[in-house]
Every structure is written in structure tokens, then in C-alpha cells.
Amino acid sequence: MTRPLRIQFPGAIYHVMNRGNEKNDIFNDDEDQNCFLKILSQSAKTYNIKLYCFVLMKNHFHLLVETPLGNLSEFMRHFNISYTSHYNRRHGRVGHLYQGRYKSILVQKDSYLAMVSRYIHLNPAKTTVMKSLNSDQRLQSLWTYKWSSLPGYLNPNLRLDFVNYDMILTEYGGCNQAGINLYRQQLAEDLNSNFNIDEKVIGRTILGDKEFVSHIKDTHLNNKKEREKPGIGEIYKYLSQDVVLALLADEFGMEPEKIFIASGIVRQISMTILYRYAGLNNREIGELFKVDYSTVSQSRKRLREKVEKDKRTAEQLDEIESNLSRIKI
């Protein structure tokens, strides 16, 4: 599998995650977690990092950070090595603590910063044990979870000096009781609606709208090395929805908007091509065709079965994909 891209520039914001090697615990007790936060605070100060929120789980952690100096890699290298050294020394072990490189997702500040903060803060309520409880019990557990920046968002007396609370609470009315109440209310709604952001991430690397992705592509990706091209391809295809629809319309001899009310092989091929080349998932395709996501999945499955049995359908699909592969976006 291609490594996720590392995109760095001054002012970039990232959702950062790392998990224990072989999914083992990285925190054995409160002392480990306290030390982790101490090292996090020191590293953030050393590398001029703005920390917006965090959560520590037993075998992984999440951070939401801004890098005014464009130095995420340096910060994470120092931070991860420092905590690994502490953990190994304290527990008499050697070797890797984490499961490979940390994962980082570039986040569009204006549209997604608050959304990612909520996703991170909701983690303690998403464990298998928590999912077996009712909504009120899960919320109570979330409000009282100690190893998170959330307590400081809900109670000014619990704020940590190395966490920036203002930026996110401003979107809810400010660092006042009204803003706190709205943020808390939104978290409760998110938990009850199974809120998730994973499917919005493009190329395992970027969370943002089309304009943001296009800007990142033009500004930071054009000179990436060949070994990273597959990852870039996932981002490029996200920008091609209109191009894909135009090509499909030409292939089937109809207006682009007519594709969404088509049936049979036209619908099956269109759904499959939008999935492969426009970067859309089943739910997003279903919204375009006004059908349930499971219908999209079934349509794509039927096309796969038809391609195996019908040479003409296979050739038609191959021709469309060949034409798309030659398009420069």
C-alpha cells in the first residue's frame, strides 16, 4: 500500500493519530498518561505548535494541531521518540512502541476544524463497552473522561495552559457559557447520530472542500516524487466528478443530468465509474441518484458479475476507463 502523503507548509492544520504496535497498549496507568501530556506540552512549546485538542485511549491517541512553522514531521519525531523512551525505560522494554509511522490528515481550517475536534472528543464514547450502554450513560462517561481536552472545553476551571480552546469555541459563540453549551449540545447530537468524518477524507490525506483540495494540489503536490503518485492520484480523482459525468453523457448520448434517472446498464456503469474515478462513496452516489447506498452497492456488484459473463459490457467499460485515464485534470 502506498504511504499516505506528507504535506507540510506554514499554518497547516492536522488531525494526527498513532496506535500501539500490534494494537498493544501505550498507556499502562495514570503516570504514563501524565508523562505523555507533559512531553506533549514541552514538544509543542519547543516546535511552536498550537494544540487544539487531544484524546488518549489505551492503545492510541488523537491530536488536532496547527503548525505555524510547517514542521509537523520534526515535532512528531521528537515527541514520539521522547514518549517511547519514557515508556520503554519505565516498563523495562525495548523496541518500537508504535505501529509504524503516525497518520496525519491535513484539515481545512474554516470548514472542518470544529468538526474534527468533535470527532476526536467523541472517541471515549465509541468503544465497544460504551456502545453497549444507553445514550445518557455514554454521554455521562464522555463528560467525565479524564484523558482528553474536552473537560477544559466544558469547564474553564479545568483548562490546560498548552491547549488553545478559543479557536474552536469561537465557532459556537466564543469562550463563554453560551459557546460552551452549544459545543456540548452538538457533541450530544453527534453521538446520537453516529457522527463520523472518515468517509470525507480524500486520498487518506486531506479533509476539505473541492477548492481547498484543488489549492493543495496546485501548490504542494505537483512536484511530489513518483513513488507518491498513487496517493496523489486519489486526490486528483476527487476533482474529476464533472469531467466523469461529461464523458459518461457522451458515451451514452444523453445530457449529464439524465444519467441520474437512468436504469439498467447505464446506471450500473455510471455508479461504478463515479466510484472509481470521481472519488465518491456509495452514500454520495446514492444521493446523486436518489437511492439508498445499498442500492449503489448492489448495482456495482451486478456490473461486476455482468462483466465476467458479457464480453460486450466488459469492452464498453474498458473503453470508458481508457478514455478517462487519458484526461488531464
Report the pLDDT value the prediction gives residue 229, as an integer from 0 to 100.
44
pLDDT digits (tens, 9 = 90+) for 83-113: 999 999 999 998 899 988 899 999 998 889 9
**CB contact at 8 A, 140 and 125:** no
Give 72: exposed, middle or buried? Use CB within 10 Å, 0-12, 13-18, 19+: buried
Pairing of strands 103-107, 206-207: parallel
Cell numbers found for residue 186: 452538538
- C-alpha distances out from residue 70 to 9, 48, 321, 328, Å: 4, 10, 38, 30
Helices (H), the chain: 30-46, 72-91, 109-121, 128-131, 135-144, 150-154, 166-169, 177-192, 210-216, 229-238, 241-252, 264-277, 282-289, 293-309, 311-325
CA–CA separation, 228 and 6 (whole Å): 10
CA atoms within 13 A on the CB side of 245: 16
Which residue pairs from 27-31 have beta carbons closer than 8 angstroms and sit at least 24 positions apart in sequence? 27/56, 27/58, 27/59, 27/147, 28/91, 31/90
For 240-325, the fitting CATH number among 1.20.1300.10, 1.10.1750.10, 2.40.30.10, 3.40.1350.10 is 1.10.1750.10
* Low pLDDT (below 70) residues in the chain: 1-5, 222-240, 279, 324-329
What pairs with residue 5 in β-bridges?
none
What confidence tens digit (pLDDT) does each residue in 31-45 have? 999 999 999 999 999
Nearest to 281 by CA among 206, 228, 202: 202
Could you count the other beta carbons within 10 Å of the beta carbon of residue 51?
A: 19
Q: What is the pLDDT of residue 22?
A: 86
Point out which residues pair with 148 in neighbouring strands: 55
Give the distance, in angstroms, between the CA of residue 326 and the centroid of all CA atoms in the same chain: 29
249-256 long-range contacts (CB < 8 A, ≥24 apart) are: 251/316, 251/319, 251/320, 251/323
Domain map (residue ranges) of the chain: 12-200, 240-325
Q: Please count the other Cβ atoms lying within 10 Å of the Cβ belonging to residue 3.
A: 12
CATH topology of domain 12-200: Alpha-Beta Plaits (3.30.70)
